[in-house]
Amino acid sequence: MSAGHKTIHPDEKVKAGNFGSQLAKIALPLGLAAIAAAFLLGPSHTGYRHFQLGYLTAWMFVWSIACGSLFFVMIHHLARARWSTVLRRVAENIALTFPLLGVVGFLGIVLPMLAGNHDLYYWDYAHTQSHEWQHVDHHLAGKLGWLSSGFFAGRFVLYMAIYSFLAYWFAKTSKAQDESGDPKLSEKMRIAAGPGILVFALTTVFVGFDLMMSLAPKWYSTIYSVNLFGGAMIATYAFLAIFTRAVQRTGRIVHSVTVEHYHDLGKLLFGFIFFWAYTAFSQFMLIWYADIPEEVVFYNYRMFGGGDGLSGWANWSIALLLCQWAIPYVLLLSRWTKRILPILMAISVWALVWHWVDLYWNIMPNAAWGVDLETGRNTGPLTGLLEANQPQYVWHSVLIWLGMVGVFLGFVGTRMKGNLLPVKDPMLGPSLAFENY
C-alpha cells in the first residue's frame, strides 16, 4: 500500500443500516407538523400570499441543496476528482430527493395556481383581467404567453423530471459499480457528465427565472440565476459538511471522511461565498450604473423600503452583505478554521441561515402589491409606496422554513440505503489517502 493509496479501514461501517429510516420517521412528521402549524396560525388578514411566499422561500432553500448536490456529483465525474470520492455517495442520496421535492413543490406552488388561486404570481393574476388592460400594461403584456399557469406547470414538471433523471442515472450507475467493480462505469459517468452539466445549467437558469424572478415580472436581470446558483452551492457545501458529520456521529464512515476532506469542503464554501458576492455585485453595479427605472425598482424597495430596525429592508440588505459575505469570508481565510471541525460546523450553520435570509430578501418584498388609485387595479409587486413595503411576520416564514428542512431531511433519510461509500470505485483508494499540503 503506497502513501497515495489506502483501503477501507477494517472496522469501518459503510452501510447506512437503519439510520435513514430513523431519520425519516423523526424528521418527516415534525416537518409536516410545522408547515401545517404555519398554515393554520399564519396572518389571515393578508390572505394566502404570505404563506405561499414563505413556502416558496423554504422550498427554494431545500431545492438549492439538492441542486448543488447534483452538480457536485457531475462535476466530480467530469473533473475525474479523487478527493471527493468518499463524499460522493452522500451527495448522490441528497440529489435523489428531487422526485419528492418536485411533488412538494407542485402541491404548494403550482397546484393552488391551477385551482384558481392567483395570490402568488402577479402575472397569473394578470391573466384574470380584461384583454384591454393586458395591452395597456406593455411591460407585462409581451410576457404573458410564457407566463401562463398551464405552461408554467408543464415547465415545472419538466424541470423536476430532468433533475430526477440525472440524479437517478448517476446514482444507479454508481451503485451498480458497487456490485460489479467495473472501472468502465467511471468513464461512462465521466462522459455523461459533460452534456449532463449543460442540461443542468439550462434547467437551473429557467428555474430561477420562472419561480423567483417572475414574482416581479416587469423587472429583469440576465445574471439572476447565476447568483442563485452561487447561493445554492454555498448551501450545498455547508449542508454536506454538517450532514456528513452527523452521519459520522452515528459511527459510520468515521475512518473514511477525514479532516482533509472537510478542509476541501471549507475551501469550496469559501470560494462560492466570494462567487456569490461577485455575481450579486455585478448585478447591482450594472443596474445602478444604467439607472433605468424598470431595473432599479428591484433595489429601490430593498434599499429604501420600510422603516427602521427589522421593519426596514435597507437594514436587511446591509446585514446580508456583512453576514452572507464579509464575515464568513474573513473567517474562512484561515487554513485552521477549515480544519477545526467545530468551527467549520458553526460557519456552515451560519452560511445556511444566511442563505435562507438571501432567498427571503429576494422573494418577500414581492408580497405587497401596489394599487392604481384611478382604476383600483392591482399594479403588482414593487409598485406601491416604499414605506409600505417592509418585512412582516418573519416568524411565520421561519416556521415554514424549519418545517421544510424537516421534510427534506426525512426525504434524504428515505434515500439512504446500502453503502455510504462507492466501495469499488477506482478512485476510492486515493480519496481515502487524500491529504492537503
pLDDT for 337: 96
**Minimal CA–CA distance to 163: which of 67, 234, 77?**
67
The three grid cell numbers given for residue 421, joined into one nine-digit string: 461509500
> Whole-angstrom Cα distance, residue 355 to residue 362?
11
Give me the amino acid identity at 62.
Answer: V
User: Cell triple for residue 58?
Assistant: 423554504
Q: How far apart are alpha carbons 323 and 181 in whole angstroms? A: 45
Residue tagged 442563485 (cell numbers)? 228
Which residues neighbour 361 within 8 Å (Cβ) at sequence distance 6 or greater? 302, 313, 316, 317, 320
Please give the Cα distance from 92 to 174 (Å, whole number). 9
pLDDT at res. 307? 59
Q: For the chain, how many residues are written?
A: 437
What is the DSSP code string of 284-330? HHHHHHH--HHHHHHHHHHHS-B-SGGGBHHHHHHHHIIIIIIHHHH
So what's the pLDDT on residue 143? Answer: 85
**Phi first, then psi: what are they for 335, rounded to 5°?**
-65, -35
For residues 359 and 213, the answer to whether their CB atoms sit within 8 Å is no
Query: How many other C-beta atoms are found inside a 10 Å radius of the C-beta of residue 180?
Result: 10
pLDDT for 1: 37
3-class SS of residue 193? helix
Mean pLDDT by runs of 10 across the 437 residues of the chain is 74 93 96 94 74 96 98 97 96 97 96 92 86 65 87 97 98 96 95 97 96 92 95 98 97 96 97 97 93 89 71 87 96 96 98 97 91 79 80 89 97 95 95 91
DSSP characters for 72-137? HHHHHHHTT-STTHHHHHHHHHHHTTHHHHHHHHIIIIIHHHHTT--SS-HHHHHTTS-HHHHHHS
pLDDT for the residue numbered 133: 58
Which DSSP category does 365 fall into? G
What is the rounded CA–CA span in Å between residue 95 and residue 65? Answer: 8
- Rounded Cα distance between 262 and 344, Å, is 8
Can you give the pLDDT at residue 246? 96
CA 168 – CA 98 distance, rounded (Å): 9
- Residue 134 is predicted with a pLDDT of 59
Could you tell me the residue ranges of all domains in the chain? Answer: 19-432
Question: Are the C-beta atoms of 62 and 356 separated by less than 8 Å?
Answer: no
pLDDT of residue 44: 65
Written as one letter, the residue type at 319 is A
Is the torsion defined by CA of 204, 208, 214, 219 positive or negative?
negative
Instruction: Measure the CA–CA gap between 380 and 215, rounded to whole angstroms.
Output: 9
- SS3 at position 15: strand
